[in-house]
Amino acid sequence: MRALIACLAGLPLLGGCSFAPSVYMAGSYFPAWLVCVLGALLLTLLIRWGLIRAGVDDALPMRLPVYACLTLALTFAALLLFFE
């Protein structure tokens, strides 16, 4: 009985799996999040280069978490802008 209740409780969550946005590139379909992550990585590298040129990169307390969060923020922004 508990298994049935657990299955029924999780059933509404499966509605999000009905549509997966994909992008047609080079003769194949790629998931939209993968394209957004690659674009965000390139933008993060470009922003990092700009911060190094401006001399701000040395003042960042924890560079790895800052750039990881910047990549995630750019990824989510691209997903919301282009695929929602």
pLDDT of 10 above 90: no
Distance, in Å, from the CA atom of 73 to the CA atom of 55, rounded to the nearest integer, reads 23
Q: Which residue has the higher pLDDT, 75 or 14?
A: 75
On the 0-12 / 13-18 / 19+ scale of CB atoms within 10 A, 20 is: exposed
Long-range contact set of residues 42-47: C-beta below 8 Å, sequence gap at least 24: 43/74, 44/70, 44/71, 44/74
pLDDT of 20 above 70: no
Distance, in Å, from the CA atom of 42 to the CA atom of 67, rounded to the nearest integer, reads 12
Tokens of 57: 């990169």
pLDDT of 68 above 80: yes
pLDDT of 1 above 70: yes
| pTM of this prediction exceeds 0.85 | no
* 27-56 confidence digits (pLDDT tens): 777 788 888 999 999 999 999 999 999 999
